[in-house]
Amino acid sequence: MELVYLVCSLLSTSITSFLLSLLLPFRLLLRPLFGGGADDDAVVSLYEGTVWHERLRPVHHSFQYPVRYALIDLDHASNPPSDHLSAHQARLISGTTGPVSFLLTIPPSVGYVQNPLSLYYCYDIEGSSQTLKKCIAEVTNTPWGERVSFLFNPNSDVVAKALHVSPFMDMLGTWTMKTNIPGDNLFVTISVNHPKHGDYFSASLMAKRVSSSMHTDLALFFWLMPHKVAFWIYWQVKQLIQE
pLDDT block averages, 10 residues each, the chain of length 243 = 57 69 66 53 87 84 91 90 92 90 91 89 87 93 79 93 68 89 96 84 94 71 88 71 58
pLDDT at 29: 65
d(CA 169, CA 137): 19
pLDDT at 146: 81
pLDDT at 51: 95
pLDDT in tens, 80-95: 888 899 999 999 999 9
Asked whether the beta carbons of 208 and 183 are under 8 A apart, the reply is no
Number of structural domains (the chain) is 1
pLDDT at 200: 84
d(CA 174, CA 190): 10
Element (H, E) at 8: helix 2-34
Domain of 30? 2-242
Question: Strands across the sheet with 185-194, in order?
Answer: 147-152, 129-140, 117-126, 101-105, 61-73, 44-55, 198-209, 185-194, 174-179, 157-160
pLDDT at 206: 97
d(CA 207, CA 220): 19
